[in-house]
């Protein structure tokens, strides 16, 4: 059974094919061409955490492909505590054709995938955010014609979003640089996975955001305090001081540099209003691309 849990599970050719199909689906949607690749299919969505982009883009995407979606609040299905992950997976495999989940623990996805006879799609876990990574790569491709040889400077925490994008860049020939305070770089497990499965050439990690953006085609940022890290908020605000993506940082990058953000943004923290609302920012194009990237993923899994 094919799942979509981490970008590292996909080859460069898989990713390239998904991006090509996402671009085709985007054009078809703009032309209002009817598409029925998910006709008769039902996709379940289980969310243990809040979401705007992921939930709405999946529900819209399923509808646009002629299928039906079913939202299942995480606190009602009770993954792993109301019944075992194995029993849940075996049960819903009888009713659904695919299941999208946003979970606290990535282990929940692995536990479900091990017992599911339908594809499991990671709609964000503490480890990775592959749907976001795919939409990010689609946006870079749209902005520059190709991602190959481009430099993405991620200014922020070495988190789930950064891991997925770093892998996607590594697979498709883009350069990824992480700029973060000491103690917030990629963890050893990710470094080992990357070395074993992507490349021995690990993305650069620097503590100076100005050095990171010097040759950047894209500056990427994300919130400094993710969902579930609220207790660390004050400490993180202090540690990430100086890492805001603002006009001064953007001025240190090449003139053509674009700014991406996975959203939601904490304006005034990791990104300033003037950059967020300025001409370099492509975050809403990027948010829109979640729809097309995920439609390509669902087709890839269900066709």
Q: State the catalytic residue, choosing from 222, 261, 286, 292.
A: 222
Instruction: Select 134 or 250, whichever has its Cβ closest to ligand CP.
Output: 134
The question of whether 16 is a catalytic residue gets the answer no
Q: How far is it, in rounded angstroms, from Cα 290 to Cα 292? A: 6
The question of whether 169 is a catalytic residue gets the answer no
292 binds ligand CP (CB under 6 A): no
**Which range touches ligand CP (CB under 6 A), out of 59-67, 203-211, 241-249, 257-265?**
257-265
Instruction: Please give the size of the binding site for ligand CP, defined by CB under 6 A.
Output: 9
The question of whether 129 is a catalytic residue gets the answer yes
52 binds ligand CP (CB under 6 A): yes
What is the SS3 assignment for the chain?
A: CCCECCHHHCCHHHHHHHHHHHHHHHHHHHCCCCCCCCCCCEEEEEECCCCCHHHHHHHHHHHHCCCEEEEEEHHHHCECCCECHHHHHHHHCCCCCEEEEECCCHHHHHHHHHHCCCCEEECCCCCCCHHHHHHHHHHHHHHHCCCCCCEEEEECCCCHHHHHHHHHHHHHCCEEEEECCCCCCCCHHHHHHHHHHCCCCCCEEECCHHHHHCCCCEEEECCCCCCCCHHHHHHHHHHCCCCCECHHHHHCCCCCCEEEECCCCCECCCECHHHHCCCCECHHHHHHHHHHHHHHHHHHHHC
Q: Among 103, 109, 124, 165, which residue sits at the site for ligand CP (rule: CB under 6 A)?
A: 124
Instruction: Select 37 or 51, whichever has its Cβ closest to ligand CP.
Output: 51
User: With contact defined as beta carbons under 8 Å apart, do 25 and 296 qualify?
Assistant: yes
Instruction: Select 19 or 134, whichever has its Cβ closest to ligand CP.
Output: 134
CB of 32 to ligand CP, least distance (A): 26
The question of whether 115 is a catalytic residue gets the answer no
User: With contact defined as beta carbons under 8 Å apart, do 287 and 263 qualify?
Assistant: yes
Instruction: Select 69 or 132, whichever has its Cβ closest to ligand CP.
Output: 132
**Which range touches ligand CP (CB under 6 A), out of 2-10, 45-53, 136-144, 201-209?**
45-53
Both structure tokens of 201: 């050439």
229 binds ligand CP (CB under 6 A): no
54 binds ligand CP (CB under 6 A): yes
Instruction: Select 125 or 197, whichever has its Cβ closest to ligand CP.
Output: 125
Instruction: Select 153 or 223, whichever has its Cβ closest to ligand CP.
Output: 223
262 binds ligand CP (CB under 6 A): yes
Instruction: Name residues whose C-beta falls within 8 Å of residue 232's C-beta, 6 or more positions apart in sequence.
Output: 225
CB of 293 to ligand CP, least distance (A): 12
Instruction: Select 72 or 263, whichever has its Cβ closest to ligand CP.
Output: 263
Q: How far is it, in rounded angstroms, from Cα 182 to Cα 129? A: 23
The question of whether 102 is a catalytic residue gets the answer yes
The question of whether 197 is a catalytic residue gets the answer no
Q: State the catalytic residue, choosing from 217, 290, 292, 294.
A: 290
Q: State the catalytic residue, choosing from 262, 281, 286, 292.
A: 262
Site string for ligand CP, 130-159 (x = CB under 6 A): --x---------------------------
Both structure tokens of 296: 């390509």
Instruction: State the catalytic residues.
Output: 102, 129, 132, 222, 262, 290
Binding site for ligand CP (CB under 6 A): 51-54, 124, 132, 262-264
């Amino acid at each position: 059974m094919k799942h979509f849990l981490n970008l590292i599970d996909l080859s460069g050719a898989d990713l390239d094919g998904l991006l090509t199909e996402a671009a085709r689906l985007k054009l078809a949607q703009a032309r209002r061409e009817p598409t029925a690749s998910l006709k008769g299919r039902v996709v379940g969505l289980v969310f243990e955490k809040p979401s705007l982009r992921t939930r709405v883009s999946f529900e819209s995407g399923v509808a646009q492909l002629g299928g039906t979606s079913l939202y299942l609040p995480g606190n009602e299905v009770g993954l792993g505590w109301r019944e075992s992950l194995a029993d849940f997976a075996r049960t819903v495999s009888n009713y659904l054709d695919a299941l999208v989940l946003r979970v606290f623990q990535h282990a929940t996805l692995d536990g479900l995938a091990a017992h599911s006879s339908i594809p499991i799609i990671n709609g964000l876990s503490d480890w990775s955010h592959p749907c976001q990574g795919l939409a990010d790569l689609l946006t870079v491709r749209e902005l520059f014609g190709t991602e190959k040889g481009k430099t993405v400077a991620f200014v922020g925490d070495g988190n789930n979003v950064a891991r997925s994008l770093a892998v996607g860049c590594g697979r498709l020939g883009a350069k990824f640089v992480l700029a973060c305070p000491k103690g917030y770089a990629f963890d050893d497990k990710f470094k080992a996975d990357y070395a074993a499965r992507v490349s021995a050439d690990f993305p650069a990690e620097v503590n100076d955001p100005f050095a990171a953006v010097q040759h950047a085609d894209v500056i990427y940022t994300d919130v400094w305090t993710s969902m579930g890290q609220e207790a660390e908020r004050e400490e993180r605000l202090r540690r990430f001081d100086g890492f805001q993506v603002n006009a001064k940082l953007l001025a240190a990058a090449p003139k053509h540099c674009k700014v991406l953000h996975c959203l939601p943004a904490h304006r005034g923290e990791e990104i300033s209003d003037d950059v967020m609302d300025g001409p370099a920012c492509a975050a809403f194009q990027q948010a829109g691309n979640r729809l097309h990237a995920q439609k390509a993923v669902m087709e890839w899994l269900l066709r």
